[in-house]
Amino acid sequence: MQNIEPKKPTCRRCGDCCQNGGPALHEEDLPLIQDGSIPLTSIVTLRPGERAYDQPAQKVLPLDAEILKIKGRDGKWTCAFYSPEGRACGMYNARPVECEVLFCRDIEPLAEMYTKGRLTRADLLPEGHPLLELIAEHDEKCSPARMEELAMKARTGDAEAGEALQEMVIFDMEVRRLVPEKAGMSPEMNDFLFGRPLRVLLRAINVNVYEVGEGIRFGFQA
């Protein structure tokens, strides 16, 4: 009797992987950025300390290292190059390496390479670039881990923590306003250069930021 090997599971093209978040970018993806297939305006930097969806773990975890990812679309994490309506990838033939290895019913290949050879902003900006110094200053003054620590204290009524958090958020907002204006570049570059706005990170931990006159105030949700 002839042995018939069971068929290996294949992708169902359901789009769940693409809708859970765009891929993180690795050294193998550098040519896609250099030839413009992935413009810098389509990349968002996730910084150490902020919470993000971990594909292999399939849950939200705080990051211990910088990650560059394809941005989301429609106010969600759905990959910017994915069309939910057509269940199709707009760059399938030149897709990032994580997309090539990701398979929802066997995530081991992705898990094996997930943290290896990740690209960072320093890999994409030439040495001596005038914005590298500002990026470093912003990372120091607007640390996501420090932001969350201050938010937790401010929630309990710590006025000093609340003032420090206000200063941090205002600095973040001003950097994002001034850099595109002074450098003559698209505001869409801000997500690559400085990561997600602090007001977005705060919203994820149930803290809303409201602009009041020339200042801001916080709304702490339960």
Q: Is the pLDDT of residue 27 over 70?
A: yes
Phi, psi for 182 (deg, rounded to 5): -75, -35
Give the whole-angstrom CA distance, residue 110 versus residue 100.
Answer: 9
Residue-averaged pLDDT of the chain: 90
- Its domain, for residue 142, covers 125-220
Q: Indicate if 49 and 79 belong to the same structural domain.
A: yes
165-203 pLDDT, tens per residue?
999 999 999 999 999 999 999 999 999 999 999 999 999
Question: Does 93 map to a domain?
Answer: yes
Same domain, 110 and 146: no
Q: Where among 71, 94, 122 does a domain terminate?
A: 122
Tell me, yes or no, whether 11 lies in a domain. Answer: no
In a domain, 5, yes or no: no
Record the tokens describing residue 153, joined without a space.
């204290």
> Do 47 and 65 form a contact (C-beta atoms < 8 A)?
no
Q: Let me know whether 82 and 142 are in one domain.
A: no
Q: What are the angstrom distances between the C-alpha of 188 and each of 61, 71, 132, 193? A: 25, 10, 17, 9
Q: Are 73 and 134 within one domain?
A: no
**Rg, Å, the chain Cα set:** 20
Tokens of 124: 């994409």
Mark which of 82, 105, 122 sits at the end of a domain: 122
Residue 66 belongs to some domain of the structure: yes
To which residue do tokens 């009524």 refer? 157
Residue closest to 52 by CA, chosen among 151, 219, 200: 200
The residue that leads in pLDDT, 120 or 22, is: 120
Residues 113 and 195 grouped into a single domain:
no
Asked if residue 2 is part of any domain, the answer here is no
For CA atoms 30, 52, 172, 117, the dihedral sign is negative
pTM of the model: 0.88
Exposure of 186 by Cβ count < 10 A (0-12 exposed, 13-18 middle, 19+ buried)? Answer: exposed
Q: What is the pLDDT of residues 128-166, one digit of tens each?
A: 999 999 999 999 999 999 999 999 999 999 999 999 999
Number of domains the chain is built from? 2
Is 53 contained in some domain? Answer: yes
